[in-house]
Amino acid sequence: MSKFANNLFVSIILLCALLGCNSPTSHMDDKNIDRNIKETEMLAAWRADTFGCLKYRTADNAKYIRDSLNLTGKSTAFVIEELGVPNSRQTNANRETLIYYFDTNCNDNVFIDSVDYCWLELLIKSDKVKNISMKCY
pLDDT in tens, 62-79: 999 999 999 999 999 999
Task: Say whether pLDDT at 87 is over 50.
Answer: yes
> Taking all residues of the chain, what is their mean pLDDT, rounded to a whole number?
85
Q: Whole-angstrom Cα distance, residue 73 to residue 45?
A: 24
- What mean pLDDT do residues 50-55 have? 94
The pTM is what? Answer: 0.76
Domain count, the chain: 1
- What mean pLDDT do residues 12-31 have? 55
Domain that holds residue 129: 3-136
Task: Give the pLDDT confidence score for residue 17 in this predicted structure.
Answer: 53
107: domain CATH number is: 3.30.1450.10
Task: Give the pLDDT confidence score for residue 109 in this predicted structure.
Answer: 87
**Residue 103 near residue 59, CB atoms below 8 Å:** yes
Task: Give the pLDDT confidence score for residue 63 in this predicted structure.
Answer: 97
Q: Whole-angstrom Cα distance, residue 92 to residue 23?
A: 53
Q: Which DSSP string do the residues of 41-100 spell out, in sequence order?
A: HHHHHHHH-TTSTTS-S-HHHHHHHHHHS--TT--HHHHHHHH-S-SEEEE-SSEEEEEE
